[in-house]
Amino acid sequence: MTHIFGRSTRGQLPTAVAGDGCYLIDASGKRYLDGSGGAAVSCLGHSNARVRAALHEQLDQVAFAHTGFFTSDPAERLADRLTAAAPEGIDRVYLVSGGSEAVEAAIKLARQYFMEIGQPQRHRVIARRQSYHGNTLGALATGGNEWRRAQFAPLLVETSHISPCYEYRGREEGETIDAYGLRVANELETEIERLGAESVMAFVAEPVVGATSGAVPAVKGYLKRIREICDKHGILLILDEVMCGMGRTGYLFACQEDGISPDMITIAKGLGAGYQPIGALLVQGKIYDAIAAGSGFFQHGHTYMGHAMAAAAANAVLSEIEENDLLARVRTQGEKLQAALEAEFGQHPHVGDIRGRGLFRGVEFVADRDTKDPFDPARKLNAKIKKNAFDAGLVCYPMGGTIDGVRGDHVLLAPPFVIEDAQIDELVSKLSGAVEKALAE
């Protein structure tokens, strides 16, 4: 009998007992290649010596000192390092314990900012249909995943959801990529005008969509246009990089590849690389300054924010990324993973799209490549792929769900940045076996 409440139930799932680089090991000794870093978390693999040593060292000094009374060296150092590496103008950091907390903080900070600068009528959030921003009520209201929202709908504040930037399904025949990007970005302006710009406070989006649809990057130029629209209407741009940030795309912040600087960025997952639960909200100085000049403090907080152990882990993660040149490695290994996926699945009659950036890749399965028709949901293709892969010793992150009325089956891949060439081959070959078996079932 187990008393754990949730997914990880003894008897139904194997018990993880050890980690070895890109592999997890269960109690029977079986090894699993972690092809998705859990849910894009374990960017350094599972037994990183530097992070372990940093945690031991911090534990011997001080594990926790409440931020209502103290700051700590690791938290201060982490904030300095993150702002030094962040897009232009981002110079303040609010440390929390995970992705949903970072998104909640962003939404409340946006609201308080507009209160402080004398625009109390601004309270609306616009986000996108193809999005996931977390499971707490504010973050869930922001996200556009109907399945996750449905039963909680009466508890969620009203949020507008515009189209995602989802080239594979959204771009019309004959439409250029640039024209498509502009068209979907311009939906933001239409929605702002419909609501009345004076009532809108923020637009929230993932630069590369993760959990709802398997590594879908915005097309080139899309986020630039979004930035222009937000500026024109005085609206804050919040980019949710909880999944795609911290080097996952080959840039420390995914939006750096798009050449824009948002007003706020949320990060988590790869920040602690799974060694500690930590998230962060990074903000433009103007937001901090408005609050400092007004009421003087952000009216928010959680007990474990700025946790010294979590910050120590994140500092060690950043050192690993910097000293081992892991961003460059993510770009080269990412290209190799894309090439290997294309070699295996490029001509596959049931693979419609292979996409992503860096070591953040998605494969979308279709019943018919020409029509892009999805499989019947009753077939549970993605669940079968997950099971077959797991049986074969591969962790991958499959998803199904309805996006803009189209149900899809996707697999998200987000292996550790340290993945070797031979492990890329192992990943693709095990995935291929799992897919063929699932299609035959």
Residues that bind ligand PMP (CB under 6 A): 39, 98-100, 103, 132-134, 206, 210-211, 240, 242-243, 268
What residue number has its CB nearest to ligand PMP? Answer: 99
Q: Return the number of the residue (248 or 430) whose C-beta is nearest ligand PMP.
A: 248
Nearest-10 crossing angle of helices 308-323, 73-85: 40
Q: Return the number of the residue (206 or 426) whose C-beta is nearest ligand PMP.
A: 206
Q: Return the number of the residue (145 or 333) whose C-beta is nearest ligand PMP.
A: 145
Comparing C-alpha atoms, which of 26, 55, 2, 36 is closest to residue 277?
Answer: 55
Alpha carbons 42 and 16: distance in angstroms, whole number: 14
> Min. distance of Cβ 138 from ligand PMP in angstroms?
11
Alpha carbons 121 and 212: distance in angstroms, whole number: 32
> Min. distance of Cβ 241 from ligand PMP in angstroms?
7
The dihedral through the CA atoms of 312, 423, 399, 321 has a sign that is positive
> Min. distance of Cβ 206 from ligand PMP in angstroms?
5
Please report, in angstroms and rounded to a whole number, the separation of the first and last CA atoms in the chain: 32
Q: Return the number of the residue (250 or 350) whose C-beta is nearest ligand PMP.
A: 250
> Min. distance of Cβ 196 from ligand PMP in angstroms?
28
Q: Return the number of the residue (208 or 290) whose C-beta is nearest ligand PMP.
A: 208
Q: Return the number of the residue (104 or 344) whose C-beta is nearest ligand PMP.
A: 104
> Min. distance of Cβ 92 from ligand PMP in angstroms?
20
> Min. distance of Cβ 52 from ligand PMP in angstroms?
22
Q: Return the number of the residue (218 or 291) whose C-beta is nearest ligand PMP.
A: 218
> Min. distance of Cβ 178 from ligand PMP in angstroms?
26
Check if the beta carbon of residue 137 is closer than 8 Å to that of residue 106: no
Q: Return the number of the residue (35 or 134) whose C-beta is nearest ligand PMP.
A: 134
Q: Return the number of the residue (115 or 126) whose C-beta is nearest ligand PMP.
A: 126
> Min. distance of Cβ 151 from ligand PMP in angstroms?
18
> Min. distance of Cβ 49 from ligand PMP in angstroms?
25
Q: Return the number of the residue (133 or 161) whose C-beta is nearest ligand PMP.
A: 133
> Min. distance of Cβ 214 from ligand PMP in angstroms?
12
